[in-house]
Amino acid sequence: MYIAMLLSMTIIATGCNNLIELIDNSTRPRSEIVAVGYSMEQMGINNIYKMAGNNDIIMLIQFDVDDDVTNREKRCFEIFDHNLEFVKNIDYELYLEGNKLGFLQVYLTSDGGFWLTERSYDGHGDPEYLRYFDGNGAEVFTINMLESFGDNFRLIGIDNEGNAYLTNPYKSRAQTEPTILYVINKEAEMSVAVDYEFSFVLRVASLVDGTVLILNDAKIYRLYNGELELLFDFGETSFNEILAGSENTIYLTENQRIHMLDLVTGEKIVIADCTDEAPSYNYSDLVYTPDGELYALLQSRVVKLSLNEGNGGDDEANRTVITVATYATEPAFAQWASDYNQSNGEYKLEIVDYSKYDNANNIYGAIFRLNLDIITGNTPDIFIWGQTANMTGFNPSVYMSKGVFADIYEYLDGDADLARESFLPNLLEAVETSEGALYELPIEFIARVLACGRDEIGLDSWTLEEFFQEHEKRSDADIAFGAGAESLLYMFLVNNSDEYIDWAAGSCNFETEGFVELLKFCKTQVLEENADYGLSVDLIADGRQYLYRNTIAKVSDIQKFKANFLGEVTFIGYPTSYGRGNSFLIQRSTSISEYSEHKDVCWELLRGFYEESYQKSQTSYFPSNLSALEDKLENSADYYESGSGVRYSTGNDYFEVIYTDATLEETIQVRDLVYSLDRVSRHNNYLLEIIMDIAALYFCDERSAEETARLISNRVSIFLSEQS
């Protein structure tokens, strides 16, 4: 009856070498590397239902297959260490109130405990119970999943703390309501990890730093601090298992193949393929051991996979490494690096994602590490600046005056197909330095704008003084942007921080009359506590709000503004000391290290992002390539189907836009806006937090406006010197 005991006796009699027979495949192509051990049938074992594991032990779950399920009484877990030496077995009673049960999922925690789900054989196929057992095999608690979650919920993985994740992986693709991913800890406390709108979540994996990766068919998402981010999209390839290996490596099973994925470079390699050896078999259930070995189930066989690099030998070692600095590597760049590495034999791209150096205890870790690499002569060859990087402190302006970057104009001037004239001219002018050098080349951008009703104010742009004067006329407009004092100041600084900060010089001056007056104005904007101000479209109609802020990335986006004003709009821009407050918000850009020994290679690698064909394929934002930009301006209406409705959210403000084909007037207005932009909006979230903390002293009447401006100037100066 206790079939699992046979496995214990077999190991004692034959030694664990008979369980796994490793085949040396180091000379075979990497895609064919696979080591197949003896099948369980050969050892007298009927089947292996599941293999689960952690960094120390592996658990094989056997069960006896009887024709009459009423004879099922017990199952037995066999636990081995990572050398596949027998540790112990755990008998488990399967009866519960007379129902006959069977295992579905089992996951082993780092302390030897385990989670499992069961289903009854009374006609219900869904998991019915979730159980947690401690390291001694004693049951800690049971949860009725049908009562707590509903039908079709599955245990899809655990994290490094042993918390269990459950969701409905078989949700219909036609359903549009968010699916909930639940987390349950070892004390049976349940919480919601995230609500998400995609279906068919299969597995989760947990990285060393606590980040949870979610596998969704061909997509891999990162869940960190409640935020969900798409990391990789592999198109038509569908995976069914994900496992974290070393720090930056994960493994994926795709039926008859196992892939190794580098999370930093995005390089994906097939390390096992059983198409030839066992064409009717599929891989499942991976276990990664501390000594870098990978085990998998291949139907009823346990296989041990060779993780040697192979397929490269001396050629791999002789490839020149080009390092690429990023912050929170975006999927497009990871795929770019992966594609290049698989097609090029001379150079290899190695992505260094500096976001891993940031954490709650060291919010400046990424910047400090990059600066350290530059000082010690390990400057990356290429820098890719994403919007996330700009917000978290990776401001390229900080490095421009320090000789870190090469002047990209040198490469544009020598390129047969890409020249200065190939790009939006005012964009290059906004990015280049006062000396006329171009150290950063944007790939794409959006316009950050502030709008008012057509002829509402009678100005196309305004200074701070003009803004204050205009607001004094509107006694009924008790909010300017639908924000109180702190939020209003934050919005001004997000858009106009370069009024007070010279990023390249690492200096600042907030002790200006304009900033003091801005503080005083913001303080007058008091929101009633717990008041429901309603939607911006209603506030504007009632005369309580006369400005609306948002971004424009395509011609059709003008209809967001017109929907709020119920009519035509003027992009007046944020008030500044010199007017013209609309700005470029760069989404992605690149720089080349002046210290790189391969600058020409770096340019050849990067120039593909700026070619017209690539830029036309990017539909989310405005491209920097002039031809691609003009094409998008002329054809932007195609991105939304006429008559389609889209629900937008800005804070607590929800409104619907019913899109129509863009009119000629709308196209001309957006085109004029894009060509009028002459400044780049940059900010640093950490720095803004410092400013807002000090400004709160003034808003709470603990400091004067002048004292507050002086304190801000002093503290920001210290911050800038620390980062330089």
* Residue-wise DSSP of 652-675: TEEEEEE--PPPHHHHHHHHHHHH
Which run of H or E residues covers position 487?
helix 485-496
User: Dihedrals φ, ψ of 694, to 5°?
Assistant: -75, -40
Q: Does the pLDDT of residue 20 top 50, yes or no?
A: no
More confident residue, 304 or 423: 423
- pLDDT > 90: what percent of the chain? 25
Which DSSP letter does residue 528 get?
A: P
Q: Does the pLDDT of residue 642 top 90, yes or no?
A: no
Q: Which pLDDT tens digit goes with each residue over 41-74?
A: 333 333 444 566 666 666 666 554 443 444 444 4
Q: Does the pLDDT of residue 144 top 90, yes or no?
A: no
The pLDDT value recorded for residue 353 is: 84
Q: Which pLDDT tens digit goes with each residue over 643-690?
A: 444 545 444 455 667 777 788 999 999 999 999 999 998 877 778 888
| Residue whose C-alpha is closest to residue 325's, from 378, 284, 286, 277 | 378
Q: Does the pLDDT of residue 165 top 70, yes or no?
A: yes
What would the two tokens of residue 67 be? 């024709």
Bridge partner residues of 258 (DSSP): 253, 272
Average pLDDT over residues 159-175: 70
CA atoms of 175 and 185, how far apart (whole Å): 29
Exposed / middle / buried, residue 176 (Cβ in 10 Å: 0-12, 13-18, 19+): exposed
Which run of H or E residues covers position 351?
strand 347-353
Which DSSP letter does residue 415 get?
A: -
Q: Does the pLDDT of residue 99 top 90, yes or no?
A: no
The total of other beta-carbon atoms located within 10 Å of residue 192's CB is 10
Average pLDDT over residues 544-551: 87
CB 204 within 8 Å of CB 213 = yes
Looking at this protein, which amino acid is placed at residue 91?
D
pLDDT band for position 362 (cuts 50, 70, 90): low
More confident residue, 630 or 343: 630
CB 548 within 8 Å of CB 566 = no
CB 77 within 8 Å of CB 93 = no
Average pLDDT over residues 538-566: 87
Q: Which pLDDT tens digit goes with each residue over 579-592?
A: 778 999 999 999 99
Q: Does the pLDDT of residue 349 top 50, yes or no?
A: yes
CA atoms of 375 and 404, how far apart (whole Å): 10
CA atoms of 594 and 470, how far apart (whole Å): 48
CB 106 within 8 Å of CB 61 = yes
Q: Does the pLDDT of residue 700 top 80, yes or no?
A: yes
| Residue whose C-alpha is closest to residue 678's, from 409, 448, 443 | 448
- pTM here is 0.62
Q: Does the pLDDT of residue 514 top 60, yes or no?
A: yes
Q: Does the pLDDT of residue 3 top 50, yes or no?
A: no
Average pLDDT over residues 436-460: 92
Least confident of 110-124, 180-194, 242-256, 585-599: 110-124
Per-residue CA distances from 198 to 105, 179, 218, 263 (Å): 22, 7, 12, 22
